[in-house]
Amino acid sequence: MFFGAHMSEVIVKDDACDLLRNWGSQYTMASINDFDSQPTPGPYLIKAGSLWQARRIYDDSNNTLLTAILPDAESKFRTLRLLGTGYRTLSVAVPSRTCREKSNKLPLAGTRIVVKDIFDIAGLRTSVGNRNFFNLYPPGTETASAIQRLIDAGAEVLGKSKLSSFAAREEPTESVDYQAPFNPRGDGYQSPAGSSSGSAAAVSSYDWLDFAIGSDSESQTKPFGSPGSHLMISATGSGRRPAHWNGCFSLRPTKTALSLEGFVKTFE
């Protein structure tokens, strides 16, 4: 592949062609793409003389996502309007892990994630697991601060995952608006638990996914028993409980460790 010129402007002599064939090259192409440096490893698609990143299509066979997404212009995203091969499944476009090289600035390069649909992502609507909320509010103009930090570190966001309505105590199997994700454990018909049901089910279901972003409830202390004694209470375990039920791990950061800007809070 020659960069910065059309094929008509490139002359490849016979000895160079022989050398390329010895290296395993089957044909030569030229691309008008103007790279500041050597492009990262592929795979790539060549179309109309330009180089495009190739993605592999996977089915969301356990119905863990509300929408699959693709990066768009100006740091925004758009919905991937592509159905899967299974009943009511979505297709997910997954980039190669080798397309971006890890570095000090991009420690998460090539890492594939999905995000609970309680975080805003620029260009997309947020549902918080509720159809009326989804229809009422316009697409987000900015990506939630915590998610943007991951994107800036090189993470690839593939979709927005399902959750219990308004991240409350509703069991996913009680949802009216959106079908519950299938729990990959056992016979596949156990509840995936909530509210971060889609995030936990996705991580446990797919080896093409590295991790998923959920949310968790705030722990509180209340007086208990003798004077000076307190009991630690967690409202629902919104991230830990689905992880336990789906057979994966959940990390709950300290509440003040990350900005909640762009996160839809269901309780004040």
Q: What is the pLDDT of residues 152-161, one digit of tens each?
A: 999 999 999 9
pLDDT at 185 over 70: yes
**Can you tell me the mean pLDDT for 162-185?**
92
- 13 is annotated as an active-site residue: no
Whole-number average pLDDT of the chain: 86
**Can you tell me the mean pLDDT for 173-190?**
93
- For residues 224 and 189, what is the distance between their CA atoms, to the nearest angstrom? 38
- For residues 20 and 26, what is the distance between their CA atoms, to the nearest angstrom? 8
pLDDT at 93 over 90: yes
- 162 is annotated as an active-site residue: no
pLDDT score of 232: 47
Residue 66 contacts residue 161 (beta carbons within 8 Å): yes
- For residues 199 and 147, what is the distance between their CA atoms, to the nearest angstrom? 14
**Helix residue spans in 65-159 (DSSP H):** 131-136, 145-152
- For residues 139 and 193, what is the distance between their CA atoms, to the nearest angstrom? 28
48, two tokens: 């109309």
pLDDT at 55 over 50: yes
Residue 15 sits at φ, ψ, to 5 deg, of -65, -35
Helix or strand holding residue 20 (H, E): helix 14-22
pLDDT score of 227: 66
For residue 40, give every residue at least 6 positions away whose Cβ sits within 8 Å of its Cβ, in sequence order, or none.
Answer: 98, 99, 100, 101
Task: Tell me which of 248 and 42 has the higher pLDDT.
Answer: 248
Residue 202 contacts residue 209 (beta carbons within 8 Å): yes
Candidates 195, 199, 204, 205; catalytic one: 195
Candidates 31, 116, 160, 162; catalytic one: 116
- 199 is annotated as an active-site residue: no
Give CA torsion, residues 35, 36, 41, 46, to 10 deg.
0
Task: Write the DSSP string, 106-158.
Answer: -TTTT-EEEEETTB--TTS---TT-HHHHHHSPPPSS--HHHHHHHHTT-EEE
Rounded percentage of the chain residues whose pLDDT exceeds 90: 58
- For residues 198 and 125, what is the distance between their CA atoms, to the nearest angstrom? 17
